[in-house]
Amino acid sequence: MLPLDVIRKHYPNLSDEDLKKIQVFIYELCCGLMQHFYGEDWDKDIEGMDLENE
């Protein structure tokens, strides 16, 4: 998930509860996009992949 500190940089006046709501929304949006483009089992397919940034 996107760290709360990153979200707080853009919305410094929001409460922690509101920041967590944004965090959950972003996570669910990303999951929905991945599911739309890669199918319902997209999260199972990434288990064997090397996702480290180089």
Whether residue 44 lies inside any domain: the answer is no
DSSP character string of the chain: ---HHHHHHH-TTS-HHHHHHHHHHHHHHHHHHHHHHH-TTHHHHGGGS-----
Provide the residue range defining the domain that includes 22: 4-37
> Per-residue pLDDT tens for 2-50?
899 999 999 999 999 999 999 999 999 998 998 898 888 877 766 665 5
Supply the pLDDT for residue 51.
53
Tell me whether residue 48 is in a domain.
Answer: no
Q: Is 33 within the bounds of a domain? A: yes
Based on the structure, what is the number of domains in the chain? 1
pTM for the full predicted model: 0.71
